[in-house]
Amino acid sequence: MDKVAIVTDSIACFTREMVERYGIRIVPSNIHFNGRLYKEYLDISPTEAYQLLERDPNHFNTSAPSPADYLEAYRELSTRAQSIICITLSAKLSALHDTAQLAKEQAKQEIPYTAIEILDSRTCAAAEGFVVLATARAIEEGKEMAEAIKAAENVRDKVNLLALMETIRHAYRSGRIPKVAARIGSTLSIKPIFSIYDGAVAFVGLARTKERGVKRIIQMMREKVGESPVHVAVVHADALEEAQRLKERVASEFDCCDLWISEFSPIMGYTTGRGLIGLAFYIN
């Protein structure tokens, strides 16, 4: 039996290769389209989901996993691990942390012999993925739960996310931007740059073209990391070719310890739109 197992949500944008290597249990969010339910990551790929969104955005909706979904994951992992670490999307962006916590309380009755700890990543997308990855690597090294959580918290306190949106016209779906403002921004071809600060989304810049926007987020990353070795993930929302070019550019300009491409979850892409590209990164 393993010492520690990991649960995380599909919004962490973990690659399938990493999931398989580290045995991470993904709790998927839900995508609803024309009366059909898809489990993100399991039933539908991000690319397929973005195609549905583009085809008919008025019939594309999303919903979070339920406490029962997390409880099922805890039950499953309790058969092969002594303890479980559940890492969630920032509590300021979603109720997933509370949902995972509620499932933990229910699990105490069913599997009292399994210790469960819930960790708020305070971020999202591949930045959350890096927090999960740090945990997985600590466990692979034979670390106990407390040490694995400490490794996760260390990365959580350092990781950054910078993302460039193709358009602002879908941002009203988040409820934070009025629809008329989103339409005006779209007409002006404004491409916002956002980051995650203290667990919440913060807009940190604007660009008129994709090329200028990419140049800006690279510059912003350089300002934060300097010449230090850096762990990097390139994220994209159905923009693989652009992501590959950005990956090549990052590889040539930075000293990368990790460098991988991650698909931006359509659960978030519903409000950011297709074409988003960005960087998650932290220094040692």
CATH 3.30.1180.10 applies to domain 160-283 = yes
Lookup: tokens for 229: 């070795």
**Tens-digit pLDDT profile for residues 256-276:** 999 999 999 998 887 788 899
Does 76 score more than 60 pLDDT?
A: yes
- Beta carbons of 97 and 124 less than 8 angstroms apart: no
**Range with lowest mean pLDDT among 57-66, 67-76, 245-254:** 57-66
Structural domain boundaries of the chain? 2-29+64-156, 160-283
Amino acid at 37: L
Q: What is the reported pTM? A: 0.92
Does 55 score more than 70 pLDDT?
A: yes
d(CA 224, CA 280): 12
Q: What pLDDT does 208 receive? A: 86
Regarding the domain with residue range 2-29+64-156, which homologous superfamily does it belong to in the CATH classification?
A: Dihydroxyacetone kinase; domain 1 (3.40.50.10440)
**Tens-digit pLDDT profile for residues 78-128:** 999 999 999 999 999 999 999 999 999 999 999 999 999 999 999 999 999
Q: What pLDDT does 203 receive? A: 86
Please give the full DSSP string across 216-279, using - where no structure is assigned. Answer: HHHHHHHHHHTTS-EEEEEEESS-HHHHHHHHHHHHHHS-EEEEEEEEPPHHHHHHH-TT-EEE
User: What is the band of 159 on the pLDDT scale with cuts at 50, 70, 90?
Assistant: very high
Does 172 score more than 50 pLDDT?
A: no
User: What is the band of 171 on the pLDDT scale with cuts at 50, 70, 90?
Assistant: low
